[in-house]
Amino acid sequence: MNAMTKSAADLRRAARDHIRVPRLETPFHERLMAISEVNDWYNWAGYKAPHSLTDGELEYFAIRSTAALFDISPMVKYRIAGPDAERYLNRLTLRDVRKLGVNRVHYTAWCDDHGHVLDDGTLFRLGEQEFRVCCQERHLPWLLDSAFGFTVDIREETEEIAGLALQGPTSYAVLRDAGFAGVERLKPFDIATFPHEGGEVTISRTGFTGDLGYELFVPRARALSLWDRLWAAGELHAIRAIGYGALNQTRIEAGFIVANADFMTAEAALRADRVRMPDEIGLDWLVDPDKPNFNGRRAILDARRNQTLKHILVGLEIEGNISAEHAIVYHRQKHEAGLVTAATWSPTAKRNIAIASLERPYGSKFTEDLWVEIYAMRELKYQKMMKRAKIVPRPFVKLPRRTATPPGLK
């Protein structure tokens, strides 16, 4: 073995080094680690993320009563820029991007040629020709292949951009006291940039809780100083760092769905019947047949015309207070009608709520006499309960403070 081959082998070994870090740490990990009392971590897109940090219940009430700080850095982020960026995204996604103003955000989804949803996410218009897509799954090959014929630059920026969600009734007060002057002017889905540590932080009035709240994006290098700035200002506003458990409760209350939890994304689904069209997961309102052609358009409109849609997503209110997560839904206690994909007791609504995927005509034609079968593990024995379920509109919790502008302080 000579020096040349040795160095080639070293290079190969170095390229394999990622296996030494099976879980990446987010830019805020140091702070989270210092706070965490329960060491309850889970894997979010390859990152170590807290399921909870102190106490799930306290974390939930931080979101609904004070201010909660949630690390969203693992969210997959793509920067899409160039003269054709708008046209490109309009072909890629379901909603009309031409209607999305600069410094505005909209929720959207995108499909494959067969109209099956690849993912949902938020689209940030940072400039006339500059966008950021935030989503759950990784799509770079799809995004790059979609770029054929467009003058557009596509870059993944998940690692370099740190993100924080600051949610809850005192979240605006925290930002104000942290010195982000003018943030009160942000209406829901607005974006603005503010100076921070010689650089900039992008703040949008968005979130996944259905509450008053903001999301802050900053380059990785300035992540910790941003955390500290909010933390210091938040002390008097009862700021609390939270994990996914509490956030998940609030997102169910808000009626939001999560990719690969409430529906299978088309590229992740192995079984042919697991993919979903937008109309089958409650996203029909995103589809804009009047805008220029977009991926999946024909398939979606054909399915509507031919009435071949097979599933429907519904909100359920279930009697009792036992969470019905992953329970089977029945019609007349007999015919299997679908599955509960997410469920929780809602402390705010004081209702037992759930999101369920039903097989039509259940949920579309047959909407009465629905039941869920809950298996509650009680000391190594399942307690089986057949509980009445009622289809109710989402969101389960609607808070006026989410949209009030200027926002309230508590």
Q: Which residues bind other proteins (CB under 8 A)?
A: 87-88, 90-92, 112-114, 142, 145-146, 148-150, 289, 292-293, 295-298
Closest distance between other proteins and the C-beta of residue 153, in Å?
17
Cα separation of 275 and 269, whole Å?
A: 6
Nearest to 91, CA basis, from 108, 79, 106: 108
Closest distance between other proteins and the C-beta of residue 314, in Å?
29
Closest distance between other proteins and the C-beta of residue 126, in Å?
22
213 neighbors 167 (Cβ within 8 angstroms): yes
Closest distance between other proteins and the C-beta of residue 242, in Å?
37
Cα 333 to the center of its chain, rounded Å: 33
92 neighbors 109 (Cβ within 8 angstroms): no
Place of tokens 């309960």: 385
- Compare residues 17 and 148 and give the one whose CB is closer to other proteins: 148
- Compare residues 91 and 106 and give the one whose CB is closer to other proteins: 91
358 Cβ partners below 8 Å, 6+ apart?
Answer: 311, 312, 313, 314, 329, 337, 338, 364
For 109-148, give one letter per residue: b (16+ CB within 10 A) or e. Answer: bbbbeebbbbbbbbbbbbeebbbbbbbbbbbeebbeebbe
- Compare residues 304 and 388 and give the one whose CB is closer to other proteins: 304
- Compare residues 44 and 78 and give the one whose CB is closer to other proteins: 78
Closest distance between other proteins and the C-beta of residue 151, in Å?
12
171 neighbors 164 (Cβ within 8 angstroms): no
Closest distance between other proteins and the C-beta of residue 145, in Å?
5
- Compare residues 91 and 237 and give the one whose CB is closer to other proteins: 91
Closest distance between other proteins and the C-beta of residue 113, in Å?
3
- Compare residues 149 and 195 and give the one whose CB is closer to other proteins: 149
Q: Evaluate the omega torsion of the peptide bond into residue 289 and state whether it is cis, within 30 degrees of 0.
A: no
- Compare residues 38 and 144 and give the one whose CB is closer to other proteins: 144
- Identify the H or E element spanning 86: helix 85-92
